[in-house]
Chain A
Amino acid sequence: MKPAVFEYLSPTSVQEAVQILAEPDDVGDTKVLAGGQSLVPLLSLRLAQPGRIVDINRVDALQEITEDAGVLSIGALVRQRTAEHSELVRTACPLMAAAIPHIGHPAIRNRGTVGGSIAHADPAAELPTVVVCLDAELVAEGSGGVRTIPASAFFNGFFTTALGPDEILTGVRVRSAAPGTGAAYEEVARRHGDFAMAGVAAVVRLEADTVAEARIALSGVDLVPVRASKAESVLVGQVLDDATLAAAADEATASLNPASDLHGSAAYRKHVAGVLIRRAVRSAARRARENR
């Protein structure tokens, strides 16, 4: 199980990386290597046989976590473990703080990057679901310059993003959590640390006992992370009780058509998505109350 032959480049700046990606590609596919936790297994299994690997770990940037004017910015090369231990992430983006421990295992998170996981776009992964839930902005840089892509437009298809062939993801921006907000990430996986059969990211902001804002996104139930906007509308303006939660869960799952595989049937994923919505929203609301 060894990788096939490829050309290897290791740019030291974003500009250099972009230049390389913009070059005409006569060696076949080009893949960007960040943490490698998703890409290297594909190389070893020869499920991916790119002609060229562009290793961006030497880019001496994209490793900052900062907050400015109510916006949390996380550089694409920030290791998941760094974000996991970051006090700033914990306070400004509790959803991400709740989600990251579900990613694999510590050794994976020591190398895996925030940007890498988002750009890999596995619909069963946590970070793509988190950014969709939060309407995050993905910052990309290519030969055409820097642009911002809203999360809602970022995930185009199965393991596919809106990034152009000459673009790399340089960072993600989210609005810092407002007071009275609570977040939760729940998933059902076969074992601890496995990819979710279904997962839910939920954020709730309460005003008194009423839901002022609700955000719900689902992983593992479609080709891309799913934003359950209709379910959110069911919750907004309501007091959270079992009936409301059930109604929101039903609304979110009614139109789902998840895959069936060795680990769970479509019916199972659909059902469990509903269960997790109720659990995640309830949990998020409880934390919202604690954060008032």
Chain B
Amino acid sequence: MAGGSAISGLVGARIHRKEDRTILTGAGRYVDDVNERGMLHCHFLRSTVAHGRITGIDVEAARQLEGVVRVFTGADMSAITEDLSFAQPIPGLHSPSYPAIAHDVVRYVGEPVAMVVAESRYIAEDAAGLIEVEYDVLDVVASTTAGLAEGAPQLFPDVPGNVVHADEQLFGDIEAAFAQADHVVTDRIDQHRWAPVPMECRGGVATFDRATGQLTYEASTQTTHTLRFLLAGWIRHPIHQIRVIANNIGGAFGLKFSIYREDVALCAAAKLLGGPVKWVEDRTEHLVAAGHAREEQLTLEAAVKDDGTLLGLRVTMLLDAGAYPINPPATVYTGIVRTTLPGPYKLPAYQFSHKIVATNKASYISLRGPWAVETLVRERLMDKIAATCGISPVEVRTRNLVTLEDQPTKMITNVTLENVTAAETFARLAELVDLPAVRREQEAARAEGRLLGFGMGTFIEPAPGTPDFWAAVGFPFGAEPARIRIEIDGKVTAFTPQVPHGQSHETTLAQLIGDEMGVGFDDIRVVYGDTDATPFSMIGTGGSRAATMASGAVVYGSRELRRRILDIASHLLEANADDLEIVDGVVSVKGAPGASVPMSQIAMGCWLAPDQMPAGTNTDLEIVATYDGEGGGFSQASHACWIEIDQETGKIEIKRFLVVEDCGKMINPAVVEGQVIGGVAMGIGGMLLEHSAYDEDGQPQSATFLDYLMPSAPEIPEIEIEHLEFESDKVVGSRGVGEGGTVLAPAALLNAVDDALAQVGRGRVTATPLTPSRVLELLGVIEA
């Protein structure tokens, strides 16, 4: 990285992970592994109706069951908690509050209606089976269309027309754009509901120490500090008396960024009972009640010139938010979609309107790249524009993409683009692809009765985004702290507010510190996940910010500590600080290794006898550094996808998948590749297999892994990746890469499917998922 002092070459290398020995030997500590003496188990009884009023609840038989310690009804829980409120000062946002456990109206199948605390999960489930609940069934709002219809049931008194939020924004002269258009190209997509589905479900263990008043919550979360302060209010407990801990977390993908009513109920129960009390949801609860995402309908109209130049774009978006609001508010998603949709393209005029609608479903929560639909619709639209104007998908993009020469520039949505290389990744992709050869292969295949498809896409990802990006979205772009300490023995401990759950921060941050300070990789420990030990950050791990923000914090902190060490060493070695180097924890004069002093010696002096250290030096070897992002930035990539469609069975085989990505300076290429491949796999799964389906009565249809289909190894192709590592002049040139694969892969895949359909004279995809059944309908082989 620019201005860096990469001595030992850890950064950029495929360093093996510190995390791996633990996970490979089964030694991790995930929430369900916690087994404390006297621990009780908590289980929720959940609503079986999608919309209803609880008219009676009888928990007596449950209370009497041997091994049951306590049963909470909604009324019991409301006596000891505040209703959860996610209200924000956002104009026009309707955000009703709701109790941790329902006691009046239930609004989705799976809503908690009672909680059992027992000696084992087995007994807790037995007890839940003995609870009788009577519901007065109400009419169900099973879709946005149903929610917006005249006379629709109102889910909440304070959400008029079931519209949680609606807005329209205009940028540039949209009327002129359409007046000048040679063509108006329209498109639409109805994306289905699917979900993050980490391998580890939600859960936590709450313990209350009656003697000290301290509540400890060990949770599967990606945001410890936010969990802590939100819990405090809702369980009526002072923040300073709450400690949140996260150890090993089995994936999250955005889901564990939200704070759930179950977290509140569990902690409140622990306060009452002493605890430890454990709650871990099972997979059915997870698939039904944890929350879903991506259910959005968009329509687009593009004004274009005959040569494919974009003049203007009108977009409408409908988001099915489920019943209850949660953090972050759904306006963040529509805000990011609106702000990012123009992507790395030149767009002179733009109109974006959205409606967020409440329905009788589980909440809409964050799913890796929550804004992904903007790339899906835009990249599909670009291909449709190409077809309309009779040019290639490569040409239409090359014509409209912002290149490095065009930058710095601003997106039509007022976001600064600087060091963005989407166009360059696309140019490289186009070089690697050889489109004419692809077309020849397709023609030859058709002659044999086979159908091949090819699709591409490009995008930018706010990783971590820029201050003006987040201002446009209406979400705070926070600075990131890190606390770093050089220990008495000269080794290093770093405390980060990141909460890694697969992102390898224990490794990547150690790589950065190691290079900055000249300390060995094995001599650095990264601590995360304990609100008692780590500095505050509202976000934790999410938004692909760590590669820039957490990296920056440890780099700046390491540099300052290194400066202090060298300052002291310069006195001890009677040399200029500029003439000193640190290698493997030893400070020496460059070119004169005999003149050296180990960092451990300096550290011991600073900690134990600071008065005896050279006058005027700073002997404090523990600091908190804050990194403001240096303006932040974007990641980018381009994908190409080759498919074959079996025209008899509708099955789609992905034959080849190519990624050209640029996330700036790669800290650890193995980590980057793992994120890209994992992200692409998720995007493929979402488009072809996964579906959090509801029927017209609001009944979930995919409550087990037999119906919610996760992609397994044979469904994912070998993914080829080429890295471009753009070097900016920033101190921290690394950008996030966690979400990009999931954001762009669906676009490349759907473009490939549309390409195949076009070859046989069929119309475009307008709805997902692309089940084999739907593919045959699109091909006209069977009736819809």
Q: Are B284 and A272 in contact (CB under 8 A)?
A: no
Cα-based distance from A270 to B754 in the complex (angstroms): 25
Q: Given A191-B715, A268-B773, A271-B776, decide whether A5 and B709 contact each other with a Cβ distance below 8 A.
A: no
Does chain A have a CB within 8 A of B712?
yes
B704: chain A residues within 8 A (beta carbon): 45
Cα-based distance from A2 to B283 in the complex (angstroms): 12
Does chain B have a CB within 8 A of A194?
yes
Q: Given A2-B122, A4-B129, A275-B648, decide whether A188 and B782 contact each other with a Cβ distance below 8 A.
A: no
Does chain A have a CB within 8 A of B258?
no
Q: Given A45-B284, A188-B772, decide whether A267 and B649 contact each other with a Cβ distance below 8 A.
A: no
Nearest chain B CB to A213's CB is how many angstroms away? 26
Nearest chain A CB to B426's CB is how many angstroms away? 32
Nearest chain A CB to B129's CB is how many angstroms away? 7
A192: chain B residues within 8 A (beta carbon): 712, 714-715
Q: Are B126 and A275 in contact (CB under 8 A)?
A: no
Q: Are B772 and A46 in contact (CB under 8 A)?
A: no
Q: Are B648 and A2 in contact (CB under 8 A)?
A: no
Does chain A have a CB within 8 A of B702?
yes
Nearest chain A CB to B771's CB is how many angstroms away? 7
Q: Are B649 and A272 in contact (CB under 8 A)?
A: yes
Beta-carbon contacts of B277-299 to A below 8 Å, as 1s and 0s? Answer: 00000111000000000000000
A69: chain B residues within 8 A (beta carbon): none
Output the nearest chain B residue to A264 by Cβ-Cβ distance.
B773
Output the nearest chain A residue to B693 by Cβ-Cβ distance.
A262
Q: Given A1-B282, A267-B782, decide whether A194 and B125 contact each other with a Cβ distance below 8 A.
A: no
Does chain A have a CB within 8 A of B706?
yes
Interface of A is mostly: loop
Residues of chain B at interface, number, CB under 8 A: 34
Cα-based distance from A45 to B706 in the complex (angstroms): 12
Output the nearest chain A residue to B769 by Cβ-Cβ distance.
A262
A268: chain B residues within 8 A (beta carbon): 650, 772-773, 776, 782
Q: Are B702 and A265 in contact (CB under 8 A)?
A: no
Q: Which of A2, A194, A264 contacts B709 (CB 8 A)?
A: A194
Q: Given A190-B689, A265-B782, A267-B783, decide whether A195 and B706 contact each other with a Cβ distance below 8 A.
A: yes
Within 8 A of B (CB), among A222-270: 262-265, 267-268
Cα-based distance from A194 to B772 in the complex (angstroms): 14
Output the nearest chain A residue to B708 by Cβ-Cβ distance.
A262
Nearest chain B CB to A250's CB is how many angstroms away? 14
Q: Are A262 and B706 in contact (CB under 8 A)?
A: no
Output the nearest chain A residue to B122 by Cβ-Cβ distance.
A2
Does chain A have a CB within 8 A of B707?
yes
B283: chain A residues within 8 A (beta carbon): 1
Does chain A have a CB within 8 A of B701?
yes
B777: chain A residues within 8 A (beta carbon): 265
Does chain A have a CB within 8 A of B53?
no
Q: Which of A2, A193, A265, A271 contacts B121 (CB 8 A)?
A: A2
Cα-based distance from A271 to B646 in the complex (angstroms): 13
Does chain A have a CB within 8 A of B758?
no
Does chain A have a CB within 8 A of B651?
yes
A195: chain B residues within 8 A (beta carbon): 706
Cα-based distance from A45 to B705 in the complex (angstroms): 12
Does chain A have a CB within 8 A of B781?
yes
Q: Are A46 and B702 in contact (CB under 8 A)?
A: no
Residue among B651, B701, B707, B771 having the largest count of chain A Cβ atoms under 10 Å: B771
Cα-based distance from A221 to B648 in the complex (angstroms): 17
Beta-carbon contacts of B585-614 to A below 8 Å, as 1s and 0s? Answer: 000000000000000000000000000000
Nearest chain B CB to A76's CB is how many angstroms away? 25
A4: chain B residues within 8 A (beta carbon): 125-126, 129
Q: Which of A46, A191, A197, A262 contacts B125 (CB 8 A)?
A: A46
Within 8 A of A (CB), among B730-784: 771-773, 776-777, 781-784
Q: Which of B125, B649, B781 contacts A2 (CB 8 A)?
A: B125
B782: chain A residues within 8 A (beta carbon): 265, 267-268, 271
Within 8 A of A (CB), among B269-322: 282-284
Does chain A have a CB within 8 A of B485?
no
Cα-based distance from A192 to B713 in the complex (angstroms): 9
Nearest chain B CB to A205's CB is how many angstroms away? 26
Q: Are A275 and B649 in contact (CB under 8 A)?
A: yes
Does chain A have a CB within 8 A of B691?
yes
Within 8 A of A (CB), among B117-155: 121-122, 125-126, 129
Within 8 A of B (CB), among A1-53: 1-5, 45-46
Beta-carbon contacts of B632-654 to A below 8 Å, as 1s and 0s? Answer: 00000000000000001111000
Q: Are B282 and A265 in contact (CB under 8 A)?
A: no
A193: chain B residues within 8 A (beta carbon): 712
Q: Are B702 and A271 in contact (CB under 8 A)?
A: no
Cα-based distance from A3 to B777 in the complex (angstroms): 41
Nearest chain B CB to A272's CB is how many angstroms away? 6
Output the nearest chain B residue to A188 by Cβ-Cβ distance.
B649
Nearest chain B CB to A186's CB is how many angstroms away? 10
Q: Which of A46, A191, A262, A272 contacts B129 (CB 8 A)?
A: A46
Q: Are B709 and A190 in contact (CB under 8 A)?
A: yes
Nearest chain A CB to B632's CB is how many angstroms away? 39
A271: chain B residues within 8 A (beta carbon): 776, 781-782
Q: Are B650 and A191 in contact (CB under 8 A)?
A: no
Q: Are A191 and B122 in contact (CB under 8 A)?
A: no
Q: Given A190-B709, A191-B714, A275-B649, decide whether A263 and B284 contact each other with a Cβ distance below 8 A.
A: no
B125: chain A residues within 8 A (beta carbon): 1-2, 4, 46
B706: chain A residues within 8 A (beta carbon): 195
Cα-based distance from A193 to B777 in the complex (angstroms): 24
Cα-based distance from A45 to B284 in the complex (angstroms): 8
A1: chain B residues within 8 A (beta carbon): 125, 282-284
Beta-carbon contacts of A161-195 to B below 8 Å, as 1s and 0s? Answer: 00000000000000000000000000010111111
Cα-based distance from A2 to B783 in the complex (angstroms): 42
Cα-based distance from A45 to B283 in the complex (angstroms): 10
Cα-based distance from A5 to B125 in the complex (angstroms): 11
Output the nearest chain B residue to A193 by Cβ-Cβ distance.
B712
Nearest chain A CB to B326's CB is how many angstroms away? 24
Nearest chain B CB to A120's CB is how many angstroms away? 14
Q: Are A188 and B709 in contact (CB under 8 A)?
A: no
Within 8 A of B (CB), among A261-288: 262-265, 267-268, 271-272, 275
Cα-based distance from A190 to B714 in the complex (angstroms): 11
A45: chain B residues within 8 A (beta carbon): 284, 704
Give 12 A-B contacts (CB < 8 Å), ordered by A residue: A1-B282, A2-B122, A2-B125, A5-B126, A46-B125, A190-B709, A192-B715, A262-B691, A263-B707, A263-B771, A265-B773, A275-B649
New A-B contacts (11) at CB < 8 Å, excluding given A188-B772, A190-B772, A195-B706: A1-B284, A3-B122, A191-B712, A193-B712, A263-B773, A264-B771, A264-B772, A265-B782, A271-B776, A271-B781, A271-B782
Closest 6 CB pairs of A and B: A1-B282, A268-B773, A264-B773, A275-B648, A192-B714, A2-B122
